[in-house]
């Protein structure tokens, strides 16, 4: 076995043990971290339309045109 082959073998063995140590450390951290409960998302409730003359969102022609151009 030449020096180049021996160094490649040592290097791969080192990487194997380093990777195993990293995976073990990450698994230990994941086991210790608190878990977050899944929270159901409720649909937003429909709001009453704004009265005439008050500021608010309106789906005007230029807004609808923007939505068309932004569609992917």
User: Which of 50, 47, 66 has its CA nearest to residue 58?
Assistant: 50
Residue 62 has pLDDT above 80, yes or no: yes
pLDDT of residue 51: 67
The model's pTM is 0.37
Residues contacting 50, CB < 8 A, separation 6+: 56, 57
pLDDT in tens, 7-60: 666 668 888 888 899 999 999 998 888 777 777 777 667 666 666 766 777 788
Domain assignments of the chain as residue spans, ordered by start: 1-34
């Amino acid at each position: 076995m030449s020096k180049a082959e021996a160094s490649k073998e040592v290097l791969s063995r080192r990487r194997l043990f380093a990777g195993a140590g990293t995976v073990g450390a990450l698994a230990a951290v994941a086991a210790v971290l608190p878990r977050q409960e899944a929270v159901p998302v409720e649909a937003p409730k429909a709001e009453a339309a704004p009265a005439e003359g008050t500021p608010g969102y309106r789906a005007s022609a230029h807004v609808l045109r923007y939505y068309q151009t932004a569609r992917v």
